[in-house]
Amino acid sequence: MQFQCFHVDAFTDRLFRGNPACVVALDSWPEDRLCLEIARENAVAETAFFLREGEGFHLRWFTPDIEMDLCGHATLAAAHVIMEELGLVARRARFRTASGNLEVLRESGKYWLDFPSRPALPTALPAAIAESLNIAPLAVFKSRDYLLVYATEEQILDLAPDRATMDRINLDPGGVIVTAPGIGCDFVSRFFTPQASIFEDPVTGSAHCSLIPFWAARLGKRELSARQVSARGGELSCVDAGERVRIGGSARTYGSASISCE
């Protein structure tokens, strides 16, 4: 079996920044086991697989460890490949996914994800997470992911979770978001995934399904600017649209290849 694969840096307009994703174009679905093996071989946070389905596409996301229920940067990367590299659609890509029907619109030089809003509710912090942190959060919330709120961007940058301690908890398919007001943007964040092959995700679109409604309510505004302050870093434009959120970002293709799985 042979597949066409693209390596894309998402949520950035520069190579070697943002979050790298691999995108695999399919003519038919292989076994799930093979999708997972390809994701492990690619060794990036997410590999997106898509198959043409009428006027839209069936889209799935695999980490090197599991199949995910939702992934923002790999969806953006898939839309970039479909529109920019393959020319299958011009401005709008519609996807059938495990999280329902999703849409990506290319507008004003950005790809805009239309995703479900996932407001987080107050909760207690599990001991494994609390003990792993060198700085305690001000407040804790949870939707799919734990959402830990801090006072300053400096604290987010200074966080150094102890992986061995945090790995005592299994959050599949979720993770731990840490966030604070930003300098030069509305808010910043980082994202950690205990027990995953890649512990810190560079830029996490799906985390913003919870970050956007949280900061929109706290700041009293619908349109927000965000930055994920990982080592690679990424920029996101955000809109709170009630039951949906819109997440905008750029993408650059790093390379393409043919995958042979014979």
Residue tagged 């093996």 (tokens): 37
For residue 156, what pLDDT is reported?
98
* Residues 170 and 87 grouped into a single domain: no
* Residues 159 and 126 grouped into a single domain: yes
* Residues 166 and 93 grouped into a single domain: no
* Residues 100 and 134 grouped into a single domain: no
What single-letter DSSP state applies at residue 125?
P
* Residues 133 and 235 grouped into a single domain: yes
For residue 109, what pLDDT is reported?
87
Write out the catalytic residue numbers. 46
For residue 108, what pLDDT is reported?
86
For residue 251, what pLDDT is reported?
98
* Residues 184 and 161 grouped into a single domain: yes
Q: What domain range is 98 assigned to?
A: 2-106+250-260
Q: Which amino acid is at 202?
A: P
Residues of the chain with pLDDT under 70: none
Identify the burial level of 67 via C-beta atoms within 10 angstroms of its C-beta, where 0-12 means exposed, 13-18 middle and 19 or more buried.
Answer: middle
* Residues 38 and 76 grouped into a single domain: yes
What are the φ and ψ backbone dihedral angles of 79, each rounded to 5 degrees?
-60, -40
What are the φ and ψ backbone dihedral angles of 250, each rounded to 5 degrees?
-100, 175
User: Within 13 A of 138's CA, how many CA atoms are on the CB side?
Assistant: 9
Helices (H) and strands (E) in the chain, counts: 6, 18
Q: Which residues of 15-48 are buried (b: 16+ CB within 10 A; e: fewer)?
A: eebbbbbbbbbbeeeeeeeebbebbeebebbbbb
For the chain, the domain total comes to 2
* Residues 131 and 213 grouped into a single domain: yes
On whether the pTM is more than 0.85, the answer is yes
Can you give the CATH number for the domain in which 167 is found? 3.10.310.10
Average pLDDT of the residues of the chain: 97
For residue 173, what pLDDT is reported?
86
* Residues 140 and 240 grouped into a single domain: yes
Gap between the Cα atoms of 11 and 251, Å rounded: 6
For residue 96, what pLDDT is reported?
98
* Residues 239 and 155 grouped into a single domain: yes
For residue 258, what pLDDT is reported?
94
* Residues 128 and 198 grouped into a single domain: yes
